[in-house]
Structure 1
């Protein structure tokens, strides 16, 4: 069986709409299975699950779908929502908080809701996801057991995950006088860095930089942003991690991602940093979905779902907003990127 190859960034998992698109592509891949599972030979209930618990989000989401069952083309069946979705009234979906001794401490019953999806290959009506409010249910030192019961058949699909402990960014972000610089008073580029401590149960990290600027047009003023996702960093046993940002790279990032204009003026504002971390099962899943470069295109399917397929793991996000930029850097942006019409002061 071959699962659809898709390049995924940890940060993308914060957006359920993007998760939906990725997840449905995975379901479509079941149509290309040749040996491990023949879903057209005899009816079989095949459940595909995708969920990531993240205590930094207000709501938790879970996708539960079925593989294509029938003799039609998978692309034809993808347009029919009944081919993708189980009837919510036929499922009981619950997540239990469990102590390290195995005692059930609390339970959440997930409710179904419909989430908007862009039109395309897959049916956009009845795009069903299952959700619950985070509240104080997610505790970083507990285990979480997912159970999906198919009421009509008695079939039970299950999985478990832990949570990633809270992320801790470098302490000097807490200093109100701290400023990040990429150009020195000597007239040379300088590097800056973002550092963080390892969080328990995290197996990979990814830093995202969002540069905010104001654009002054003839009739309006708009605050805009550009975003850079740095490469994944896998946990190697270290206690501390660092992402270097070179001055030259920062200036090139602005030059390549902001359109030249002679009709607007711009002013650089500040930087937001978003640090995302993923659990071990998510790391394995993403590594298996790296696009193949050799002759062999087939990859082993990965699933840690009991009696089903998919992924149930954890992620967490830490946002550091409004990091100031040094005056020297702002002036250099105005001088060296003059085609972008940045003004100073």
Structure 2
């Protein structure tokens, strides 16, 4: 996530199992390389001068990260992290290509991958006042954004994202402590490589309320309003082509290499190194009373 303060890498041992399935080590002591076995770092350079390194990022081993149960769950989930705050957001950084390198200290063999950052894009609607317009029996709020703003294109500040996803963040209190939940909506695939292409998404208020109902079901009776004016924030998240290709090709049960190659952009390995943006947002100065009433009718404590 290029807008986050810290960049994380997960490095896991894998192998080619029977039937050409990609499998990962299962035993706790053999899932991850020990920190003394590998060097993990990232370099940046301009695409037209790949031999001149502009910046180097060193990743440190850490075990403080906790991951929910899932395909890659482990009781201890070590990761490599590097604080990148302010180092990926300025103009020259957005022009560069990034190469992550994992080097085996014993053999000196390297596994590596490259990616570019995503350029800035602008949310153009709705306005500062949240309002769902009654239309054909529904309450609709139109959300629009450009795939890349003109300044980013003119100065070659990052590439155009491949996929965008609008998300509404709702702030509330659970047992008196402020927190939030994200309601995800459908994705939009970008087919243009130039700026000026506008996306439009009609958000149905009923879908938003149902999303809040589902996400907060286990906290029913423990919820309350925060009292803040901007109880909602509209985010438009995005990812680049590499991450899109990975998701549509790799996240399938029983994917066999001999049948359909699993997507990877890692050289001498398998995996994904890509860019995404999760912090481009639009803040409201006034909430829609219809929405607040509908949330109150859930009887969750609001």
TMscore range, shorter length: 0.7 to 0.9
Does residue 280 of the first structure (1) align with residue 241 of the second (2)? yes
- Structure 1 runs (4+) greater than 6 angstroms displaced: 260-265
Query: Does the alignment pair 1:340 with 2:294?
Result: no
What's the CA shift string for 1:151-206, capped at 9, x where partnerless? Answer: 11121111111111123222765xxxx2111255x996431122111133311111
Report the TM-score when normalising by structure 1: 0.65
Q: Post-superposition shift, 1:259?
A: 5.2
2:32 corresponds in structure 1 to 85
Equivalent residue number for residue 53 of structure 2: 104
Unaligned runs of 5+ residues in structure 1 are 1-53
The one of 166, 169, 177 equivalent to 1:210 is 169
Compute the TM-score of the two structures, normalised by the length of structure 2. Answer: 0.73
Larger Rg: 1
Q: Does 1:228 align with 2:186?
A: no
Q: Which has the higher helix share?
A: 1
- Tell me the distance in 2 between the aligned counterparts of 1:292 and 1:87: 29
- CA distance in 1 between counterparts of 2:253 and 2:246 reads 14
Any conservation in 2 of the 1:162–1:201 contact (CA below 8 Å)? Answer: no
Maintained 8 Å contact 2:45/2:96? yes
Give the Å deviation of 1:277. Answer: 0.9
Aligned pairs (5 A) from 1:20-31: none
Q: Cα–Cα, structure 1 residues 264 and 308, in superposed 2: closer, same or farther, change >3 Å?
A: closer
Q: Does 1:312 align with 2:273?
A: yes
Contact 1:281 1:313 in 2 (8 A): yes
Shift of the 146–190 alpha-carbon distance from structure 1 to 2, 3 Å rule, reads: same
Aligned residues: 272
Task: Tell me how far 1:228 sits from its aligned partner.
Answer: 1.7
Change (3 A) 1:249 1:283: same
Q: Is the contact between residue 271 and residue 325 of structure 1 (CA under 8 Å) also seen in structure 2? A: no
TM superposition shift of 1:227: 2.9
Is the 2:132–2:288 Cα contact (8 Å) retained in structure 1? no
SS at 2:232 equivalent = strand
Superposed CA RMSD in Å reads 3.9
Runs of 5+ in structure 2 lacking a partner? 149-158
Q: Decide whether aligned partners of structure 1 residues 168 and 66 sit closer, same or farther in structure 2, where only a CA change above 3 A counts.
A: same
- Paired with 2:23 and 2:46, the residues of 1 have a C-alpha distance of 44
